[in-house]
Structure 1
Amino acid sequence: MENQLLTWRKASSNDEWVELAGKAGTSPGYLNLIAYGYRNASPRLAMAIEEASKSFSDKLVIAKERLVFRKKASV
């Protein structure tokens, strides 16, 4: 199941991804871990990612709730 952050990642250039990470106060590598489901965003980081995504007028705004309250994959 794809999440908003991963969708944003796939639709963005590497420079945009690096810029999003910088604006959110994290690294592009850590954003990748969150996007691909290996790590969860803390509430504070989720809020920072949402705010940073708002600065890209041509991109989807990433909802903080979707980063913190993720659905678990069914087994």
Structure 2
Amino acid sequence: MSMSDMSENARAIPRSEDIFLAWFFSLPESTDVAAAARVEIARIDEAPLRTEQMTRLRTMLVQASYPQPPMSRSRRRQRH
């Protein structure tokens, strides 16, 4: 396998961080992120085999599953 083949394969598999961000940004605004993360964690846990990438994704989802205090809309839109 040449170096170009290896770099092509690396690009074909999205990183766990990219998968997490795509999942997060696809959630509707009013979604309970913690509850949605727990659903995804359960899906990963049911998978017959788990890759390192899935384990990293699960770790990020566990962090997202911790309940967060609600933020007011004005604070969310605040620019720095």
- TM (norm. structure 1) is 0.29
Return the structure number with greater helix share.
Answer: 2
Rg larger in structure: 2
- TM (norm. structure 2) is 0.28
